[in-house]
Structure 1
Amino acid sequence: MSGFVRFEDVKKVYKTGEMEIPALHDVNFEIEKGEFCVIVGASGAGKTTILNILGGMDTLTSGKVYLDEEEVSAFNKKQLTAYRRYDVGFVFQFYNLVQNLTALENVELAAQICREPLDAAVILEQVGLKERTNNFPAQLSGGEQQRVAIARALAKNPKLLLCDEPTGALDYNTGKAVLRLLQGTCRETGKTVIVITHNQALTAMADRIITVKSGTVVSMVKNEKTVDISEIEW
């Protein structure tokens, strides 16, 4: 396998006392650079565990994980911290913004810890928040807060953007707008974007669809006919 992102025979077992809880087994997939990938599966299928391992927030029990030819699964704690800081941008269901900082300051905060950050004000403009740069999170709608969170992730100039149920806390139309933004970002910047969702309808907009069930990948499909989010109903 030669993908930009690669999982090879990944297994994850959580131990609590004497008990072992298997979370992932025999997980194999790859994602090419610049793809918009959707990982889909029911709640508890293991997709968030996959994301956490790829994002360096969790370790695996056995197997190998690569990003851009580097073996992430072999990193020590210090290397994992640097990896999370420089190589990966995260967008979660809840926005995790710092409440007493403006939108601009929230984005600048992320940019400060990076090697080659992008301009915070420019990124906010790109996500449609030019008029909102000096607003605090409490003065923003849910959709606007999620856009700030996306801008914050992009300002790091990461190799990979990981999004865990990014529209989970948003209403239907706002959710669609956020997904359009994520797909547009992928197309315009060539960034590899991975979105995790339980919503099967969203697979139509993906370049690659990875389906997870009972802790393993049951299918990986390259989608030759991606559909614009505006045409998808659920």
Structure 2
Amino acid sequence: MSQYVKFNNVSKYYKMGDQKISALDHIGFEIGQGEFCVIVGPSGAGKTTLLNILGGMDSCDEGSVYLDGREISRLNDRELTSYRRYDVGFVFQFYNLVQNLTALENVELASEICKDPLDAAEVLREVGLGNRMNNFPAQLSGGEQQRVSIARALAKNPKILLCDEPTGALDYITGKNILQLLHDTCRQRNQTVIVITHNQAIVPMADRVIQVKNGTVTDMRLNENPVPISQIEW
């Protein structure tokens, strides 16, 4: 599988008074095109910092970051804005939907700013919301709102889908359904999907697992036989 995402000796520091705190400490890993990757670790391990750097929302202090052969760690502010807009789809724990827009309008909002968007209604049908397009977020369950959030990210037709604790606000059954949807998206679209989580139980479903602790990668492995989500318990 071709190298698609690459972190090369990446470090990120924060200043607290006179102290320099290391959020990421010389991290290195690669993720292939079309892989379903789970980055797992406890709270404060550096997972979200890592995702923010890959998503173009933060910058690294040392090292280099590549997506599809492009060094995003060298981009200026204007180029990073364009990168976030066109190349990255984000799915967060909290859905960040516009409350006075319908499900369809929320997805159309994202597709309007992109170069080569997918049809908003078609993507909503793909995520199982064909009959809920004209509902407002308040009329949708948590799982349905997260599906709208995923549809919004997919409608941008991004190179990569970044998911930060996407099941964190959901119950067990709904969370499994959302993971199944993300996994199906990865397979059907050959989409590179990266899920950030503290939930170790999700690990067996991944193609690639990256374990993070105290700002370092403690383990990285390919999973030759990913377990079906239906068999995962937590």
TM-score normalized by the length of structure 1: 0.98
Distance in structure 2 (CA, Å) of the matches to 1:153 and 1:20: 35
Count of residue pairs brought into register by the alignment: 233
Q: After superposition, what is the alpha-carbon deviation per residue over 1:43-83, rounded to whole angstroms, capped at 9, x for unaligned?
A: 00001110000000001110000000000000000000000
- Which residue number corresponds to residue 178 of structure 1? 178
| TM superposition outliers: structure 1 runs of 4+ over 3 Å | none
Q: Percent identity?
A: 70
Q: After superposition, what is the alpha-carbon deviation per residue over 1:6-27, rounded to whole angstroms, capped at 9, x for unaligned?
A: 0000000012443321100010
Residues 142-153 of structure 1 mapped to structure 2, 5 A cutoff: 142-153=142-153
Shift of 1:131: 0.6
- Which residue number corresponds to residue 41 of structure 1? 41
Residues 49-64 of structure 1 mapped to structure 2, 5 A cutoff: 49-64=49-64
- Which residue number corresponds to residue 140 of structure 2? 140
Where structure 1 has 5 or more consecutive residues not aligned to the other structure, the ranges are none
Distance in structure 2 (CA, Å) of the matches to 1:77 and 1:19: 27
Distance in structure 2 (CA, Å) of the matches to 1:201 and 1:17: 38
Distance in structure 2 (CA, Å) of the matches to 1:79 and 1:143: 34
1:122 has 2:122 as partner? yes
SS of the counterpart of 1:44?
coil
1:5 has 2:5 as partner? yes
Distance in structure 1 (CA, Å) of the matches to 2:67 and 2:219: 21
One-letter amino acid matched to 1:58: D
- Which residue number corresponds to residue 97 of structure 1? 97
- The CA RMSD over aligned residues, in Å, is 0.7
Deviates more, 1:14-23 or 1:115-124: 14-23
Distance in structure 2 (CA, Å) of the matches to 1:222 and 1:118: 31
Distance in structure 2 (CA, Å) of the matches to 1:146 and 1:46: 24
Distance in structure 1 (CA, Å) of the matches to 2:80 and 2:71: 11
- Which residue number corresponds to residue 107 of structure 2? 107
TM-score normalized by the length of structure 2: 0.98
Distance in structure 1 (CA, Å) of the matches to 2:140 and 2:124: 13
- Which residue number corresponds to residue 155 of structure 2? 155
